[in-house]
Amino acid sequence: MSLVAKRYAQALFDTAVDKNIVDEVFDEFSTVIDLFKSEAELMDLMLTPSINNSEKKEILNRIYGEKSLNQYLRNFLDILLDRSRFEYVLEINETFRQLVFPYKNTVEAVVKTAVPLDETLRVALEKNLEKRFDKKVILDNQIDETIIGGAVVYVGDQIIDGSIRNQLNQMKTQMNSIRL
């Protein structure tokens, strides 16, 4: 993470804590970032030097209008534009998340499954992961057919592998270790 991203993320986090709007800012910032990630052209537009800041702010205003963003977050994004730091927005968001998670005693987890998790299973898994790690878990379900069946959970640097792929790999290791 760059120093710029760390500095801006820390400033946003401090303000959010101070104003007691951490959850709100976290959710809304994530929504905006998801939008920029999914709309690559929009991000390109925001980084195009030939478009002036007032036009870029107008674009943001439309988004703010649709998403009804928190005022502090809106101002923060405007400042990034004014100071020509918008290129760091994704990095700032990532750093901000890393600051928020310990503050909220939360951890991000990715669960890979061969078929999409339905809501019941997702909630059950979140609950059990929270019990296991003694933290609130934000679960992201990713589809990976190569695991064949079961699930693999990634939490930080920990991996909980309950996939058929893993069982097959273990079987392969055992079979290969048999001496002839």
Partner 1 sequence: METTGLISIDARVMIATLINFVIFFFIVKHFFYDAIKGIIAKRQDSITAEITGAEEKNVSAGQLKLEYEGLLADIKGKEREIIRDANAEAQAQRQAILDKAHTEAKGILDKANAEIELEKSKAMNEVKTNIVDLSLFAAEKIIHKEMDPKQHEAMILDFIDKVGEAK
Which residues would be at the binding site for partner 1 (CB under 8 A)? Answer: 113-115, 117-118, 121, 124-125, 127-129, 131-132, 148-151, 153, 160, 162, 164, 168, 171-172, 175-176, 178, 180
In angstroms and rounded to an integer, the radius of gyration of the C-alpha atoms of the chain is 21
Run of H or E including 23: helix 22-38
Cα 173–159–109 angle (5° rounding)? 150
Query: Is-contact 36 89, C-beta < 8 A?
Result: yes
Name the residue nearer to partner 1 (CB basis): 16 or 147.
Answer: 147
Min separation Cβ 178 and partner 1, Å: 7
CA distance 111 to 159: 10
Q: Burial level of 156, CB count in 10 A (0-12/13-18/19+)?
A: exposed
Q: Which is nearer to partner 1, 54 or 173 (CB)?
A: 173
Give the nearer residue to partner 1 in terms of CB position, either 68 or 146.
Answer: 146
Q: What is the smallest separation between the CB atom of 137 and partner 1, expressed in angstroms?
A: 10
Residue 154 to residue 140: CA distance in whole angstroms: 10
Q: 78 or 150: whose CB is closer to partner 1?
A: 150
Nearest distance, CB of residue 142 and partner 1, angstroms: 14
Shortest spacing between CB 106 and partner 1, in angstroms? 17
Question: From the CB of 41, what's the least distance to partner 1, in Å?
Answer: 36
CB of 32 or CB of 125, closer to partner 1: 125
Helix axes 22-38 and 40-47, enclosed angle (nearest 10): 100
